[in-house]
Amino acid sequence: MKIDSAERMNAFTQSVFAELTQLKKRKLSLGHHVIDLSIGSPDLPPPVFVREKLAEMVTHKDAYAYSLVGTADFHQAVSAYYRRSFSVSINPTDEVLLLMGSQDGLVHLPLVLCNPGDYILMPDPGYTAYFAGAKLASAEIYPMPLLAENQFLPDLEAIPLDVLVITKLMILNFPGNPVPAMATPEFFKKVVEFAKKHHIVVLHDFAYSELYFDEKPISFLSIPGAKDVGIEMNSLSKSFSMAGCRIAYALGNPELISMLNQLKTNLDYGVFLPIQAAASLALTDSSDYLEENRMIYKRRRDLLISGLAELGWQIDSPKASMFIWAKVPEGFTSTEFTVQLLEKANVVVTPGNAFGRWGEGYVRIALVQPESEIIAALQNIKACGILNHYKIQP
């Protein structure tokens, strides 16, 4: 019989990541060694103490019940981590909410806040989950262009008043994905004032808070008044290489936390208790793991940036995150250059237009391979000559 999908599914076409995967599989089937710098999935393992805690906990016979909510230990660990790392005071009782990965919260918050036709302000280019959340809620999207001339910060004054009067939510992401920009205290202060003036909830995606190199990112919640207007979502996926564990958290405004919790109690039964225990240990850890992790990514960043510069591709060195945001050579669109790089150099990156209209002209390169693979990628790019006859615009 013929099965028709719901109309809302029309918004969810095959992602560019799926298309790149098919191209990659074809190259692999032909015997090529493909170097994948496209998806931001950490290749490094979690710290040893996290793995040991998981191994210990899974043997407990009472570890397999529904957790339903975050444990008291997990909530306390989040609160302690924010106090120690960002000088932010968080009430573990009513200002923290366990998430099954930050994408869980990012996609579901619009369902809590938005009626059909309400606007969501979101960065463009921006993480694809923001788009998915808006579409599920039947909300309208108003893109905030992230432009080099504005240090990749949104221009709040450029948003029309007729949009603002029906806007419910603004999504921000610093350090960002795909654009590894950093917010300043001055910008966040402006956001708080703007949100209060126009009665807009702010969601700050802080998933890359611990992947920094030249300066430490600031939490949105460290700004006076931020808790009045919004929440922050953070994750252990990138910082502690626990992506497959699916554990993260929202924190901040207690009313928003309660509203999101009301929805989630109807959607899931919490996170596996051993994972919560391991995450609690990670958040309260005082070892050098995070600094050592940062140094690995920093070496990869410096190797790739310097190596591409030698080939004539000058790229700004990111201060944070696991991504490089690079302009493509003249004569290519983002997609064309991505395909050519895969076909000729066996290197996979992500075209910038996968993240929105204003991503055209760029590619995102993820620092998710060891240095040996980055060297191999540089050698492949040099050997294929793709950069020889094209100028990279500054």
pLDDT of 27-40, one tens digit each? 889 898 999 999 88
Instruction: Show the domain range for 162.
Output: 62-283
* Predicted pLDDT at 27: 87
- Co-location of 32 and 168 in the same domain: no
- Co-location of 241 and 146 in the same domain: yes
Q: What is the pTM of this model?
A: 0.95
- Co-location of 210 and 252 in the same domain: yes
- Co-location of 139 and 96 in the same domain: yes
Please name which of 185, 128, 188 lies closest in space to residue 354, comparing C-alpha atoms. Answer: 128
- Co-location of 81 and 181 in the same domain: yes
User: Which of these three, 251, 283, 315, is where a domain ends?
Assistant: 283
- Co-location of 306 and 278 in the same domain: no
* Predicted pLDDT at 23: 83
- Co-location of 342 and 303 in the same domain: yes
Look up tokens 């009067």; give the residue. 165
User: Residues 79, 238: contact at Cβ < 8 Å?
Assistant: no
Strand locations in 6-156 (E)? 35-36, 96-99, 119-124, 140-145
The terminus-to-terminus CA distance of the chain in angstroms comes to 55
d(CA 179, CA 153) in angstroms, rounded, equals 10
206 burial (CB, 10 Å; 0-12 / 13-18 / 19+) is buried
DSSP state of 245: G
User: Residues 368, 238: contact at Cβ < 8 Å?
Assistant: no
User: Which of these three, 223, 254, 283, is where a domain ends?
Assistant: 283
- Co-location of 199 and 175 in the same domain: yes
User: Which of these three, 266, 283, 300, is where a domain ends?
Assistant: 283
DSSP state of 293: H
d(CA 340, CA 387) in angstroms, rounded, equals 11
Q: What is the CATH number of the domain that holds 123?
A: 3.40.640.10
Please name which of 30, 39, 99 lies closest in space to residue 270, comparing C-alpha atoms. Answer: 99
Count the domains in the chain. Answer: 2
- Co-location of 277 and 329 in the same domain: no
- Co-location of 330 and 253 in the same domain: no
* Predicted pLDDT at 14: 64
Q: What is the CATH number of the domain that holds 329?
A: 3.90.1150.10
Examine residue 126 and state whether it is found in any structural domain, yes or no: yes
Look up tokens 């190797």; give the residue. 303
- Co-location of 185 and 258 in the same domain: yes
Treating both helix axes as pointing N-terminal to C-terminal, what angle do 102-113 and 254-264 enclose, rounded to 10 degrees?
100
- Co-location of 226 and 361 in the same domain: no
Strand locations in the chain (E)? 35-36, 96-99, 119-124, 140-145, 167-173, 201-205, 230-235, 248-252, 323-327, 347-348, 350-351, 362-366
270 in helix, strand or coil? coil
Examine residue 77 and state whether it is found in any structural domain, yes or no: yes
Q: Percentage of the chain with pLDDT > 70? A: 97
d(CA 105, CA 69) in angstroms, rounded, equals 14
Examine residue 118 and state whether it is found in any structural domain, yes or no: yes
* Predicted pLDDT at 10: 80
Residue 196: Cβ within 10 Å count: 13
Q: Which residue type, as a one-letter code, is found at position 304?
A: L
Please name which of 280, 289, 276, 97 lies closest in space to residue 210, comparing C-alpha atoms. Answer: 289
* Predicted pLDDT at 39: 85
Residues of the chain with pLDDT under 70: 13-17, 389-394
For residue 144, the cross-strand partners are 123
pLDDT digits (tens, 9 = 90+) for 150-172: 999 999 999 999 999 999 999 99
